[in-house]
Amino acid sequence: EIKSLEEIFEAKIARDEKIEPKDWMPEKYRQTHIRQISQHAHSEIVGMLPEGNWITRAPSLKRKVALLAKIQDEAGHGLYLYSACETLGISRDELYEQLHSGKAKYSSIFNYPTLTWADMGAVGWLVDGAAIINQVPLCATSYGPYARAMVRVCKEESFHQRQGFQIMMTLAEGTPEQKEMAQDALNRWWFPALMMLGPTDDASVHTAQSMKWKLKRKTNDELRQQFVDQTVPQAEMIGLTIPDPNLKWNPETKHYEFSELDWEEFWQVVKGHGPCNKMRLDARRNAWNNGEWVRNAAMAYAEKQENREVK
Ligand code: FAQ
């Protein structure tokens, strides 16, 4: 019996085998992976900006070293993910162009400002915390290069999450002013962190197909519930209050109930109208433009070396 390429592909997905770059894949599978992996890469790269804001003002040498290491990891994740994305037949230049022109999205969360040192705690604890919840299932995603990238990324994210939580814990145990600073950061980051996991399942246009392809292994709402259930006890442990009056443990479902999120705010941020969208994109475009001479010099040098070898 001769099977069509489509049947071979479907059978691999059904057997939980990885799809590799040279395998046949439906064009929509390729495109949706380019979309998700590139948005993920852009998020890592833009995600360096809010924390970069605090490197020079970290309160001790130890904190500065840890923050620098975390931000360097994010650059690494971005480059790793761009490479994974390139295996699908799109160039790095095209990917950058999509980011710089505003065509490609990056995570909504990075359009919020980092106002105090406690925000470094909240970002690590909540943003990396949500990122891990989202990315652990992606280690089992169907596209090989993406799945393998996620294994390393998740290990590094768990260091990031712990360093954030440790900052929050230290502040929460400190002076009343320090504790207040930690609470204020939690107040500002809690709902944006929940929104980071994407629209509700009813509003999520890609979930159904992505679940069939085993690109996504859990839905946005499932991941959000898991994040809330995991994070609330951590806040309690350090004596901080989740800023949601409707937060309630339901002993029957064994899950926390929480408020409906402000989806109007979410879509405004996604569409480019968040507090820092313009600043973030300008920073990336400027970095690209100001780096042109470096790229040109590197190319000229490579060309010179190549010519030398020929002789
Ligand atoms: N922000 O149908 P769905 C990190 C868009 S990494 C902006 O549900 P999907 C590390 C979505 O693209 C953080 N846009 O879409 C770090 C789609 O628009 P499109 C990034 C969003 O793909 C920590 C439309 O809404 N992580 O944080 C957002 O099935 C600290 C409809 O949505 C990843 O990218 C959003 N939050 O599910 C770095 C993980 N949510 O494309 C520095 C991989 C949705 O049709 C510091 N990505 N949209 O124009 C995913 O798991 C998925 O893509 C979701 C969205 C879950 C984000």
* Model confidence pLDDT, tens digit, residues 252-296: 999 999 999 999 999 999 999 999 999 999 999 999 999 999 999
Q: For residue 40, report the distance from its CA to the centre of ligand 1, in Å.
A: 7
pLDDT for the residue numbered 2: 83
Q: For residue 199, report the distance from its CA to the centre of ligand 1, in Å.
A: 9
Whole-Å CA distances, 173 to 72, 185, 311 = 29, 15, 68
Pairing of strands 255-257, 248-250: antiparallel
On the question of pLDDT at 206 being above 70, the answer is yes
Give the atom of ligand 1 at the shortest distance from the alpha carbon of 40. 34
Whole-Å CA distances, 251 to 79, 135, 138, 194, 254 = 44, 28, 30, 22, 5
pLDDT for the residue numbered 308: 87
pLDDT for the residue numbered 310: 62
Residue with tokens 């489509």: 6
- Ligand 1 pocket check: which of 43, 133, 156 to mutate, most ligand atoms within 8 Å of Cβ? 43
For residue 38 and ligand 1, the question of a CB distance below 6 A is answered with: no
On the question of pLDDT at 241 being above 80, the answer is yes
Which residue puts its alpha carbon closest to atom 36 of ligand 1? 196
Q: For residue 215, report the distance from its CA to the centre of ligand 1, in Å.
A: 13
Q: What is the mean pLDDT of residues 34-60?
A: 98
Q: What is the mean pLDDT of residues 108-136?
A: 98
Reported as type and span, the H/E element at residue 248 is strand 248-250
* Model confidence pLDDT, tens digit, residues 62-84: 999 999 999 999 999 999 999 99
For residue 163 and ligand 1, the question of a CB distance below 6 A is answered with: no
For residue 50 and ligand 1, the question of a CB distance below 6 A is answered with: no
* pTM of the shown model: 0.96
pLDDT for the residue numbered 1: 79
For residue 47 and ligand 1, the question of a CB distance below 6 A is answered with: yes
For residue 124 and ligand 1, the question of a CB distance below 6 A is answered with: no
Q: What is the mean pLDDT of the chain?
A: 97
Q: For residue 306, report the distance from its CA to the centre of ligand 1, in Å.
A: 41
Give the atom of ligand 1 at the shortest distance from the alpha carbon of 128. 23
Whole-Å CA distances, 235 to 196, 226, 239, 282 = 19, 15, 6, 35
pLDDT grade for 122, boundaries at 50, 70 and 90 = very high
ipTM confidence score: 0.98
Helix residue ranges per DSSP H, the chain: 5-14, 27-46, 48-52, 61-86, 92-100, 118-122, 128-135, 144-172, 176-195, 207-212, 220-237, 263-268, 277-290, 292-310
Q: What is the mean pLDDT of residues 95-123?
A: 97
Q: For residue 85, report the distance from its CA to the centre of ligand 1, in Å.
A: 15
For residue 219 and ligand 1, the question of a CB distance below 6 A is answered with: no
Q: For residue 111, report the distance from its CA to the centre of ligand 1, in Å.
A: 13
- Ligand 1 pocket check: which of 101, 206, 212, 225 to mutate, most ligand atoms within 8 Å of Cβ? 206
- Ligand 1 pocket check: which of 29, 33, 36 to mutate, most ligand atoms within 8 Å of Cβ? 36
On the question of pLDDT at 311 being above 90, the answer is no
Q: Could you give the CA distance from residue 270 to residue 60 in angstroms, rounded to a whole number?
A: 35
**Chain CA centroid to CA 169, Å:** 23
Q: For residue 83, report the distance from its CA to the centre of ligand 1, in Å.
A: 19
Q: Could you give the CA distance from residue 77 to residue 149 in angstroms, rounded to a whole number?
A: 8
On the question of pLDDT at 300 being above 80, the answer is yes
Q: For residue 21, report the distance from its CA to the centre of ligand 1, in Å.
A: 23
